[in-house]
Amino acid sequence: MERKTLTRRDLFRVGGGIAASGMLPLPSFAEGISAKPLAPGRLGRIDYSKAKAVPTICFGCTTHCGVVGWVENGRVRRIDGNPLDPNSKGNICSKAQGMISYTYYPERLLYPLRRVGKRGEGKWKRVPWDEALGEIAEKMRPLREAGTPEEFVFHYGRDKTKGYTKRFTNAFGTPNRLNRRSICSSNRRAPLMSFYGREFEWESQDFENTQYIVNFGGNPMEAYQGGLYMMHRIQHARVDKGARMVTFEVRPSATASVSDEYYPIMPGTDGAVAFAMIHVILKEGLENAEFWNRWANYPLDDLRGDVAEYTPEWAEEKSGVPADDIRRIAIEFAKAAPACCTMSNRGSAKHYNGVQSDRAIRTLDVLVGNVGKPGGFCLSSLRGWAGRYGQEGLPKLSQPGPKASDPMPWGLGEGFNEDAFRKLPEEVQERVNAFPEFWRKKYFGELATPSEYPLAWHWYQMRVGQLVYPYIKESRQKVSVYMSFTLGASYGYPEANLAREVLADEELIPFHVAVDISYSEQAALADIILPEATSLERWDHHSTNNYGLVPYTGVRQPLVKPLGQSRSIQDILRDLARRIGGGMEEYFAFDDMEGFYREWYQNLPISWEDFKQRGIWMDETREKDYELYERPLTEAELADTSVDSETGIITQKESGKAVGIVKDGKSIRGFDTPSRTIGVYDEIWPIAAKAVGLPLDDVNASPVAVYDTVPEHRDLPEDRYIFTTFKWNVHTQGRSAHWKYHSEIVHTNPVFMHPDTGAKLGLKEGDTIKLTVFRPKGHTYRSGEEGAMGAFENHVRFLKGVHPRVMACSHHVGHFEQGSVAKAENRKSAPEQGIDSESKAFKDADIPDKLWWSREKNGIGGGVHINDALPINPCPLTGGQNWYDNVCSIEKV
């Protein structure tokens, strides 16, 4: 019988069909496939008849697509998409191949290192793991024994272990497990949780079925969490179903370029356009009054009065968007309801007024009644896989041993909280006392729950990462041991120079342990460096919201063994906990990480081996998560509950937690807010403002969405401009500069400006300018200080479509560590220098001699580091960094 040869394209087409039928395509990925000629590269052609296909989860960015890695002769050769992933549907972007770049980067960290010179001097000695972990344990153990575990600070950049690192910090007893969420997403998460509840920190718009999208500063076609999932669905809706997309943005982004309409909006005025749209919808009688009256907790007539002055003409004056277009877009949007949705991201949210702008944008969806409807603004039923909503039929996850959510075992019960609270300055105690009592119990200290930013820890532990170093410098928290995990603060935080200053000071931070893959700017300021395994070499549990509106889960599994002596963070923390002892070891009573995750997933309806072979599991028979708020409560959920006769709120008697609401005589879920309705009106904002002394007339203190101009943008002088940053589609912020193929594509960061602005300033394409940034205004960190915050020099590129008052420059390049590719230098760098070259797992003929863009090769170089010049600027109450408010001046060099 003649045997048919399948191409890889045939394989994925067949695989997609098998996946839809519920059969298992992946185990036979490499069976019966003859070699398919590809570009040979340095390692030759891949022989698919011999290569092994292993599903895993991509870590090229935070979208985390399901992928399949091809392994040949013990080396990962190629990454493809996994057709079983319901979000990406087998599609991937270039970042997926970046996992190969950072796994086989010749200057990657492969061995534990201890510094032998001054901190930051770049002199290192290789040490055995036992010695490195033993030294760290000897520094940490006395902190627990002395009853001061909070002096250990764990600060991470991207932690996708789903609670594993929290298991370690809880077991040790420190509350200081710090993240970078304020740098990233807290300003847009807070409005979502205020409106819809803690369970809904992310939206999942039903783009596949929508007819109209209004996009305020989102960029899924280029750089967006979940962007790949959104990109294909949006284009499918636009091309195949005639959907329209309108984008408001300050520069012609990739998303703006494919939109049906693009408006270069004045930065920070998205809320003005949203309010004007609300005004028009109400004036035209296009609101969905039935939905609003049923679910919004704010009278419609009150909203009508609130927006009476927010006319399209008023919004045009603020934003520059023509009033007639605002009016038309509002009408088109409302008439498309409920198959319409908004989209927003950093463009709208990362401003002083960004939280309220996003609340206005959220109000638009409620007003037209598209929430949870087909084609509308939908909400994910999944938060961390074990999400509260829509769990019927989903297996519960387990963890071996104590859970990460267990009370901290080392004296961090209520007694510790109260003792720590009483040690706080009296004025801080007053602020916390003014806040709701249940949050006082969660108060742990200024690094974890800063008193000035109570809404950074009200719904969710979003922290205020950019203030960690100033607070340490001000001695708000004594630090004895500081551990950074894949954190790039010394390079990528605002005022990164301040982070470096604090990390270099051995009195402020006596001992710094860095866990990283590359020799980053952060690792360069450590005392001990521990080399971490890459995402192609480790295990992780994975879950995220599904834009197909059916929860799913996946597993990241190792494709190859860790190179050198690198170890996964799970192994590192397990072994460190055992050395510290004192009860910590009880939380890490397992040796095999595969066994740990096998037990985690023990309740899946398929076997562990099948799950590994698929990489993804989803119940395809499950109903989509439309209108979750209307779903009836189960008998189990109604057990031992009571109903408030006035509000209809259903509460658990024992815990006092609201679990649902009675509507039309039926017990249904509603939303996960205190009122079980949509929190258009939320008193937490003025309560929090009062607690920290923020004036109640500040835009962020209002219980309903309001508009006010960004303080430093008021009466902006003609010679001042607004400076904004952005991300490139082939890079992942500042974490991918050492991916050689990606850096070959984008390795510099010119300042983009409108050509008319350039002509006004007397500039030509390619001229060098000095861009000076000033301190922010308003109620924020060091606001109103006279003089410049910082400056940098860079070359100019003209780009039509940029707002004339905007200067735009990406922030991902200009590295001064992270190896030769990131630095664009044709020479090796520390800690590679002075370490036995025989230890290298492989050679790369391109690095470091063939970086054609390096200065040594007469190239343009590796770009300009701009983050030192950007001020720390937390939004009041939430603490999110106002990245896009910066005011600057321009001077030709």
More confident residue, 394 or 794: 794
Q: What confidence tens digit (pLDDT) does each residue in 304-341 have?
A: 999 999 999 999 999 999 999 999 999 999 999 999 99
- What's the CA gap between 32 and 25, in Å, rounded? 13
* One fold for 113-184+426-579 and 712-892: no
Token pair, residue 736, equals 């991918």
Asked if 133 and 574 touch (Cβ cutoff 8 Å), the reply is: no
Locus of tokens 């500039």: 763
Q: Given this model, what pLDDT does residue 430 score? A: 52
Q: What confidence tens digit (pLDDT) does each residue in 854-881 have?
A: 999 999 999 999 999 999 999 999 999 9
Asked if 87 and 77 touch (Cβ cutoff 8 Å), the reply is: no
Lowest mean pLDDT segment, chosen from 119-133, 432-446, 821-835: 432-446
Span 402-407, average pLDDT: 48
Top mean-pLDDT range of 406-415, 504-513, 596-605 = 504-513
Q: Given this model, what pLDDT does residue 602 score? A: 85
Task: State which amino acid sits at residue 268.
Answer: G
Does the pLDDT value for residue 734 go beyond 50?
yes
Task: State which amino acid sits at residue 595.
Answer: G
- What's the CA gap between 854 and 743, in Å, rounded? 11
Span 120-135, average pLDDT: 96
For 712-892, CATH gives: 2.40.40.20
Token pair, residue 683, equals 């008193």
Going by pLDDT thresholds of 50, 70 and 90, the confidence category of residue 50 is: confident
Across-strand partners of 379? 203
Span 18-22, average pLDDT: 36
Percent pLDDT > 70 in the chain is 87
H helices of 284-322, where? 289-295, 300-306, 312-319
Going by pLDDT thresholds of 50, 70 and 90, the confidence category of residue 387 is: very low
Span 364-385, average pLDDT: 84
Going by pLDDT thresholds of 50, 70 and 90, the confidence category of residue 161 is: confident
Does the pLDDT value for residue 221 go beyond 60?
yes
Q: Given this model, what pLDDT does residue 180 score? A: 85
DSSP 596-652: HHHHHTTTSSS-HHHHHHHSEEE-TTSPP-SSGGGSBPPHHHHTTEEE-TTT-EEEE
Q: In what order do the strands lie in the sheet with 244-249?
A: 261-264, 244-249, 212-216, 340-344
Percent pLDDT > 90 in the chain is 68
Lowest mean pLDDT segment, chosen from 141-145, 399-403, 494-498, 591-595: 399-403
Q: Given this model, what pLDDT does residue 833 score? A: 62
Q: What confidence tens digit (pLDDT) does each residue in 457-483 have?
A: 888 778 899 999 999 999 989 999 999
Going by pLDDT thresholds of 50, 70 and 90, the confidence category of residue 382 is: low
Q: CA nearest 493: which of 885, 807, 865, 749?
A: 865
Three-state DSSP class for residue 446: coil
Lowest mean pLDDT segment, chosen from 10-14, 429-433, 795-799: 10-14
Q: What confidence tens digit (pLDDT) does each residue in 85-122 have?
A: 999 999 999 899 999 999 999 899 999 999 999 999 99
Q: Given this model, what pLDDT does residue 24 score? A: 37
Domain 113-184+426-579 falls under CATH 3.40.50.740: yes
Lowest mean pLDDT segment, chosen from 260-264, 357-361, 655-659, 709-713: 655-659
Task: State which amino acid sits at residue 65.
Answer: C
Token pair, residue 815, equals 């590295």
DSSP 8-state assignment for residue 875: P
Span 169-174, average pLDDT: 88
Phi and psi, residue 856, nearest 5°: -60, -25
Does the pLDDT value for residue 355 go beyond 80?
yes
Phi and psi, residue 437, nearest 5°: -60, -40
More confident residue, 832 or 1: 832
Asked if 678 and 303 touch (Cβ cutoff 8 Å), the reply is: no
Q: Indicate the average pLDDT of the chain.
A: 87
Is the preceding peptide bond at 338 cis, omega within 30 degrees of 0?
A: yes
**Contacts (Cβ under 8 Å, ≥6 apart) of 708:** 353, 356, 699
Q: Given this model, what pLDDT does residue 544 score? A: 80
Does the pLDDT value for residue 20 go beyond 70?
no
**Contacts (Cβ under 8 Å, ≥6 apart) of 358:** 187, 188, 191, 192, 271, 344, 348, 349
Phi and psi, residue 317, nearest 5°: -60, -35
Enclosing H/E stretch for 576:
helix 569-580
Token pair, residue 452, equals 């000035």
- Radius of gyration of the CA atoms of the chain, in A: 27
Q: Which fold has domain 201-368?
A: Dimethylsulfoxide Reductase; domain 2 (3.40.228)
Phi and psi, residue 218, nearest 5°: -95, 150
Q: What sign for the dihedral angle of Cα 270, 271, 277, 279?
A: negative
- What's the CA gap between 249 and 156, in Å, rounded? 31
Going by pLDDT thresholds of 50, 70 and 90, the confidence category of residue 837 is: very low
- What's the CA gap between 377 and 359, in Å, rounded? 14
Chain Cα centroid distance, residue 210: 25
What b/e sequence results for 171-192 when a residue is b if at least 16 CB atoms lie within 10 Å of its CB, and e otherwise?
A: bbbbbbbbbbbbbbbbbbbbbb
Asked if 55 and 68 touch (Cβ cutoff 8 Å), the reply is: yes
Going by pLDDT thresholds of 50, 70 and 90, the confidence category of residue 414 is: very low
Going by pLDDT thresholds of 50, 70 and 90, the confidence category of residue 3 is: very low
Lowest mean pLDDT segment, chosen from 382-391, 551-560, 755-764, 835-844: 382-391
| Residue ranges of domains in the chain | 113-184+426-579, 201-368, 632-668, 712-892
